[in-house]
Structures are given as structure tokens and as C-alpha cells.
With several copies, the nearest count.
Chain A
């Protein structure tokens, strides 16, 4: 069932341990049919154990105490299904390569999730009063939908298109198939009634750049990995000494965190 693989994916690379995931994974949960719930109680672990067996026989351990856990890597807006589409799509837009990390490792999908949860997702500082009319392209976005809603619709449509074309969910497609879907959106080959497919693609692309390169305080650009790719030094106080210099200066980047005295 659809859910199980998603749960497994999340488990594979992020979540140290979570009983509920196993619970859900094994619960035979389904949507669309009449069976909407069901549980095998023995799969629930006692809350005090720090390890658990999933039914593949793997044991997942809690992260070692000396390894910093990034508690910020959880979802504020996306559902897990949406998150997995977002993560796969941004990784295709900005893939890991010889240059260094891609969107997934940089945490771009978390960045987008967190941004959508706030003012940006609600178009909080944009003029959203009616009346709403279709305008010329030169007049810019004239829809009534807020970014959150556009992402909700856009991601669902990506899933629908994947299912229709490849009979699989977007995140289960091969990278080449995922590119086919993204291109279909980029070129408006997908026809949508509510939002512009290419407009949605542009938004995803822009958000990917933001998530790769914004200060890590927002949850993307993990370990300043995006900055390192571009040799961008981050938050430096002064370039007076190098401004006239011919030689390219490679510096260890610094984030805004360093700008606050952490006692």
C-alpha cells in the first residue's frame, strides 16, 4: 500500500526511531476503500525503549548523544506525501553531483515547508483583495490562491500526472521519469485549470534556489553547503582588504548565527 513505502523512505534516512511509523507501516491502513483503520497492538512499543524492531528485522537506534540532532527537520505545513514529492523534485532541480550536495542533503524541502508555514505561505504582505480578474501577463499574478494553496494543488497535480503517465507516485519514479514530469510542468504541457503549471514550476525552482543558498537559519543550505558550492563566504563583516585584490579569495563561510553572541 502506498503509505508503507513512504513511511519506509522517511525512516531510512531521517527518523532515528518512532514507534508510530512502525505502527502505521504495519497497520494495513488504506484509503479509498472502506477499511480506514486497524491496528495490531503488539506492534506498539513501550514508550521507554530506545530501540525497536520493524518487521524487516532492522533495528534502528536513537542518534548517539554526541551527534547533534536537527530538531528543525520536521514538518510545519506539508503532509508527508507532499514532502516526499517536494524532496524528490527539488533534488532533480538541484541534484547532488561532483560539485557537492544536492537539494535533499541541503534540506531544501524542509526549508520550503517552513516558509510555507509562515507569512510567505499566506501571502501576508501582498495585496490579496478582490475583485479578481484575469489580466495580461505583464500585470503579474492575479489569482486568489495563496502560496500554500498553490503548493497543495501543484503537488497533487504532480502526483496525478505521475500516476497517469507512469502508474506510479512521483517519488517512486526513476530520475528520468521525474524529469519528464517536471518538464511537462515547466512547459505547460500539463494543463491545469486552477493554477499555471509553468508558474508552479517557476515557484518550485525559485524556492529551491532559496533553500539551497539562504542563510542556514531558515532550515536549508545545510552546513552552509550551498554557499561552499559557490564559494560564497556568507556573513562577512568586511571585504576592505580583498576588494582590490586580483587573486580569488576562498574563505570559510560564516552564518548569521555567528553574528549573535552565544553565551
Chain B
């Protein structure tokens, strides 16, 4: 029997970016918040030995322990889903701050087009432009409505950047100046300008200079050490929940953080969430934490899974296309890229930062004419200098043997002479791409794993062909002696790393028939339950998701405070 604990105002399930923002905003306005985090406590001092590529990048130090829980995957409904036994395609977060600790810090705002994708696509190209089975839909909110929340997130995190000439309108400048510009970034920028594109310095959470945010949190500047993605920041420079929102929440005295607390069920009765049931993973004891408001702030997969396990919301049914929990799962299309080899130039590629980059949106969203193209949307195209770490930096020109003397010589020669330009391709939802509970495989507690049914579509292959060519052109313009452009998209496979940008499953919208939450991320069916995260994305944009996910979190926080004052549906 679970031990029943005293009731709290709000319980937060998962303490990463979503949970941290909710906790800080709600406690600042006087609510009592209990934060349940399944992983362990983390702090900046944990990363004094972080410059260790093997441990962090190849042995997955910071990620979810797959021996305890994983996901299962199948390319389509006709085959058997099998567990992801080891990491590949994406990396699941774990522990305080979640994936918000080991991200790169690339912080975009989705385009105005994204939020009204269906309407605007039909408006410009007609209904036929949307192929059969593609389930894009408007998000139930506009960019303009969301703009203040983007700004809030950017100020909290201290984003450094310059105006995107092709982005949504900004009400204020970025709080800090852009990152430094490396010689390769300059080459990229000049090449894009030569091609009449609109390059700009990528918005970065790495922090270009010392910064004190509106909550009074001061952080030091990035040192360009080259260890961001898959690593925690030993300077506390990179914005993450542990060095920004969580201390603010704690400082109010109204936030109680419980680590090693794995929520297994949302409890509910008569259309209201009543609390959560969790297990203390250090003792195995079960607890019931009652709360007036339940906020789900774990990753895409666990937000969806927990709702399905708790029998909340109507599960998505791909046969009928009805139901909402598990709907519109999307990923990121990353195959379009180019690599350039420079014979006479050697760059300091070992140095860098996760979001030190130059990018452009000329082929993102609906910034270009899709009339004669067999795809909608697009992607940002960037050169980013994240720091080439030696084990994984073995890019060699095609034709080089895969191992042996010549491989060795080439991998050494080009270690600091290869430049990659890549597209962060958007990903559209389809009726037959979805999340549900696996029928065979279980986690350590015996609960079913989440099952992903997904593959790349014709639309993705067309987009990759287009974007890959663009990447190649830019590299040629940059003066690379040899350019290889990647223009082919194979089937989706879970085995090699692509992106951790999974989205959807508990999407937002303006109708309970096609969405699980409204534009405050409040569940249609359970008005005291909010589901915060990229799980709310109705599709995935041509950008990294965190900026948009952060904005939605601030909006949800505002909604929760409203709801607490005056219960009921917020829309």
C-alpha cells in the first residue's frame, strides 16, 4: 500500500526545463510545489571531470539507464516493435535538469508559419498541397500570442544572438550579444551572403558574456571548451534548469524537490486529477502525493506513456485516426548535409561551443516558394562549431578505406580540415506515426514501455534532396577543395544518432477531437492537469525545439496560476 502524503497545491512530474520553469514561476507567485524527479540531484561540481569523451559521449553517462526502461520501435504497424537495447538515434535524459543539462543550447523560436501551418499552407498552395495521411494542424495559438513567452524564456536563459532577418517579429533584442565568430563561421556567413541568403549568428544559451537574469541569477561566460552536447557545463555558463530556474524555486521556500521519485501513475477521479503515485527508487516504497493541480513535465515519451498508463485522455487509434494520446508523433529530419574538405587550411575545430554557429532560414518554414516542390516546410541550414572531439571525429573523403594505414592518415590529416554544413529538417506528422503502449516489453516495474511507430516519408526524402544540395552549394562557395553533399534519406533507423528532438503525443490545439491540451497545455478532459513539453508540438519545426518548448512552459505557468485562482477551462 502506498503511503499517503499531505496534499500540496501543485505536483510536478519530472524536473527538467518544463518542471523547473513551472516550479519557479508558481512558487514565485506563492503556490506550494512538490517536484518529483526520478533521477538524481545534479550540480555544476559534478562536471569537473567532464572533458571525457568516452564516458559522456560514448558511454552515455548522463542518460536514462536503458536496463531499467527503454522504448520499443517499429517502422510500421505490420512489423513487431522491438526494444531499443542500446542508444542510437536519440538520447533520453535522466536526473535533475533532465536533457536540459546536456543540450547544445541552440535556442530558436519556431516560425509564425509553424503555429498556423495548416491554414497558411492551404492559403498559399491549396488543399492538395497536403498529401494524404499528413495530419498537420494549427497549434491553437499564434506566434504573436506566444512572443512574450519566448522573450521570457530568452531572458531567463540569457540567450545571446542577433536578429533573424527571416524570423518572427521580436519585441526586444536578445538579452546578450551573439557568440564569437570563428573563421569557419565567417566563411559560412560570407558564402551565404554571396548566394544572397540571410545568415545570422545562431541564438545560443551558452552565454557570450557574464549575465544576470531578471530573477537575479548570475552566470559566467562560455569558455568555448568544446564539450556541450552530451555533457554538463562545468562553468555553469550554459543555461540549464539546475543553474537557472531551480535555485529560484528553491529560494522561495515553497518548492520541495524529491529526487529518486519515479511517478508511475497520475491518480484521478471524476474528471479531475487527484495527485500522483510514485515509487522511491532508493527504497522501493510507494507514495501517493495528492495535489490540487498536477503538472506533467517529463519527456515526450513519458508524458504520453504516463497518461496511457493512467487511463487519461482517449488513446489515439491509427485505424480510425481518432483519439489524442499518442497522436502526431514527429521527429527531426537530419540527413541533408554536406561536408567540405580543405587542403590548405587548418581550423581550430577542437574548440567550440554547443550553439556557436552561423545559420540561415532562407529554406525554412514557408520562407521560400514550395509551389514546384514535392514537400512543405523546410529547415534551418547551419554551420556549427561544437568542438570536434577526437574519438568521433573521423570524417574522411569518400573513397578512403574504412580502416588501416590510409584511413589513419586521412583521419589525422582532415581532423581539423573538415567542415560540415547541415539542415535541421522539419518533420510532419502522419496518421500512421504514433505512440502507444508496447504489448510485450516492460520496464523494471513491470509497466509497458512506450512504443514508437515511425518511418520517414516521401516528403522527407524530397526535402533532404533539396536541402542537401543547398548545403553542398554553400560549402563550394566557402572554398572547400572537395565537397560531398548528402541528399538521400534512407528508412528511419534507431541505431545511429540523429537527433533527440522527439515531439508530439500530447499535442495542443483548439479542439478536443484533434488535440489533448489547449493552448495553456491544460488537458481538455482533466482541467487540473497540465502536460508541458515538446509533447505539445503538433509537428516539429525546422529548428531545435527547446526555445519553443520553453515559451510554452511559461505560458502554461501563467495558465496554472490563473486556474489556481479560478478553476475551470482556460479557453
Contact = CB atoms under 8 A, between A and B. Distances in A.
Nearest to B414: A230
Interface stretch (A55-63, A64-72, A122-130, A159-167): A122-130
B217 to A, nearest CB: 6
Nearest to A135: B82
Given A140-B85, A238-B225, A37 B220 contact: yes
A128 B66 CA distance: 9
Contact of A142 (B55, B85, B235): B85
Instruction: Among B60, B73, B180, B390, find the residue whose CB has the most chain A CB atoms closer than 10 A.
Output: B390
Given A79-B45, A215-B53, A242-B348, A136 B224 contact: no
A82 B244 CA distance: 24
Contacts of B49: 74-76, 79-80, 256, 259-260
B70 interface: yes
A205 B224 contact: no
Q: Which size class do A's interface residues fall under?
A: 35 or more
A136 B82 CA distance: 9
Interface in B366-401: 388-394
A145 B390 contact: no
Given A237-B223, A243-B182, A245-B348, A39 B66 contact: no
Interface string A84-109: 00000000111101010010000000
Interface in B43-57: 43-46, 48-49, 51-55
B343 interface: no
A235 to B, nearest CB: 4
Interface stretch (B142-150, B278-286, B473-481, B557-565): B278-286
B75 interface: yes
A36 B219 contact: yes
Given A209-B394, A256-B51, A120 B235 contact: no
Contacts of B66: 125-127
B226 interface: yes
A17 to B, nearest CB: 15
Interface string A1-36: 001000000000000000010011001010111111
Interface string A218-245: 1000000011011111111111101111
Given A37-B220, A125-B65, A231-B415, A246 B83 contact: no
Interface string B398-429: 00001111011101100110000000000000
A184 interface: no
Could you tell me the dominant secondary structure of chain B's interface residues?
loop
Given A136-B79, A231-B415, A27 B220 contact: yes
Interface in B61-100: 65-67, 69-70, 73-75, 79-86, 88
A81 interface: yes
Contact of B493 (A81, A140, A215): A140
Contacts of A210: 54, 58, 391
- Interface centre among A34, A37, A248, by most chain B C-beta atoms within 10 angstroms, is A37
B380 to A, nearest CB: 22
Q: Which of B45, B46, B181, B493 has the most chain A CB atoms closer than 10 A to its own CB?
A: B45
Given A138-B492, A144-B281, A99 B408 contact: yes
B217 A36 contact: yes
Interface string B163-203: 00000000000000000111100000000000000000000
Interface of A: 3, 20, 23-24, 27, 29, 31-39, 41, 44, 74-76, 79-81, 92-95, 97, 99, 102, 117, 119-120, 123-133, 135-142, 144-145, 149, 152-153, 179, 182, 186, 193-195, 205, 208-210, 212-215, 217-218, 226-227, 229-240, 242-246, 248-249, 256, 259-260
Q: Closest 10 CB pairs between A and B?
A: A239-B351, A37-B236, A39-B220, A138-B493, A37-B219, A214-B54, A238-B223, A213-B390, A248-B346, A230-B415
19 contacts: A23-B235, A34-B218, A36-B217, A75-B48, A76-B52, A81-B45, A123-B85, A127-B67, A127-B70, A129-B442, A179-B404, A209-B392, A209-B394, A212-B391, A215-B53, A232-B350, A232-B389, A232-B390, A234-B51
Given A79-B48, A128-B85, 8 more contacts: A33-B251, A36-B244, A76-B52, A92-B404, A208-B403, A210-B58, A217-B52, A229-B412
